């Protein structure tokens, strides 16, 4: 597995993904404490975090979810991203005594097995060269009864397709479900097709893009 991860990381580096994400991160709106959890994917994921959790946010972007976990009183929160610029944004508004910032590839997480009670991964899998490799890594670092919370965009309501050309992986409900069903009875999956709170930014996107949410409980 490690050899495979090394190869995928090398390929992604050669493709210049770090620079691409640094550029993207510089465009991200700076995260503001008063508007924590503005986006509905984050709002949904946050519902599954409680104060006793040890949280890893893979592909944390500007750190909204990490800020929420900090406010919630979580013991340990790790903001993990391949982009230093994204981490810089996340650092501006979170407490470094609680949130740790680690730069690296999701394909090779630098943590021991069974370290976290919650691993979140919002709007990241669709950008990866090998999403199964990353799911495997996230499950590896998840404790028994831990929760892996993922959100990915899936097809639009018109033709059921994800037409975003930047997305390397295209999902629909069935292929996301199948990814976790192969893991067997150790895992239960909930899929939440729509988020309806109109006060939360991003909900308007539901008219042309549906997001898919999965919560996997690791019973191992």
- Smallest separation, CB 122 to ligand SAM (Å): 3
Among 5, 66, 69, 106, binds ligand SAM (CB under 6 A): 106
Cα Dmax for the chain: 47
110-149 footprint of ligand SAM as x/- string (CB under 6 A): ------------xxx--xx---------------------
Spatial distance between the Cα atoms of 106 and 99, rounded to a whole number of angstroms: 18
The residue with its CB nearest to ligand SAM is 61
The tokens describing 157, both together, are: 């309501």
**C-beta of 123 vs 201, nearer to ligand SAM:** 123
Of 67, 70, 168, 58, the closest CA to residue 103 belongs to: 58
Strands 76-81 and 99-103: parallel
- Which residue lies nearer to ligand SAM by CB, 77 or 82? 82
Task: Tell me how far apart the alpha carbons of residues 168 and 67 are, in angstroms, rounded to a whole number.
Answer: 28
User: What is the C-alpha separation between 138 and 188, in angstroms, rounded?
Assistant: 16
Contact between 41 and ligand SAM by CB under 6 A: the answer reads yes
214 is a contact residue toward ligand SAM (CB under 6 A): no
Structure tokens at 78: 């790790």
Give CA–CA dist 184/146, Å, rounded.
16
- Of these, 49, 78, 86, 152, which contacts ligand SAM (CB under 6 A)? 86
Binding-site size for ligand SAM (CB under 6 A) equals 20
Q: Does 94 bind ligand SAM (CB under 6 A)?
A: no
Q: Could you say whether residue 56 binds ligand SAM (CB under 6 A)?
A: no
By CB under 6 A, is residue 153 in contact with ligand SAM? no
- 20 closest CA partner among 72, 82, 75, 80: 82
Q: From CA 171, how far away is CA 160, in angstroms rounded? A: 10
When asked if residue 152 is in the footprint of ligand SAM (CB under 6 A), the reply is no
Nearer to ligand SAM, 128 or 176 (CB): 128
Rounded Cα distance between 90 and 100, Å, is 10
Q: Site residues (CB under 6 A) for ligand SAM?
A: 12, 21, 25, 41-42, 59-61, 81-83, 86, 105-107, 122-124, 127-128
């Amino acid at each position: 597995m490690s050899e495979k991860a090394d190869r995928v990381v090398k390929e992604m580096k050669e493709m210049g993904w770090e620079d691409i994400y640094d550029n993207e991160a510089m465009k991200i709106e700076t995260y503001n404490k008063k508007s924590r959890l503005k986006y509905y994917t984050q709002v949904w994921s946050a519902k599954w975090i409680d104060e006793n959790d040890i949280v890893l946010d893979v592909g944390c972007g500007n750190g909204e979810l990490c800020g929420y976990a900090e406010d919630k009183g979580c013991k340990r929160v790790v903001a993990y991203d391949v982009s230093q610029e994204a981490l810089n944004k996340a650092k501006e508004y979170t407490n470094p005594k609680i949130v740790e910032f680690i730069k690296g590839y999701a394909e090779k997480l630098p943590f021991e097995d069974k370290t976290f009670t919650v691993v979140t991964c919002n709007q990241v899998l669709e950008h990866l060269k090998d999403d199964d490799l990353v799911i495997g890594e996230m499950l590896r670092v998840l404790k028994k009864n831990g929760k892996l919370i993922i959100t990915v965009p899936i097809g639009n309501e018109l033709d059921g397709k994800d037409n975003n050309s930047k997305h390397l992986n295209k999902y629909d409900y069935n292929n996301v479900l199948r990814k976790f069903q192969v893991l067997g009875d150790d895992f239960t999956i909930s899929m939440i097709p729509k988020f309806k709170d109109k006060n939360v930014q991003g909900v308007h996107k539901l008219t042309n893009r549906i997001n898919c949410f999965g919560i996997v409980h690791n019973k191992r």
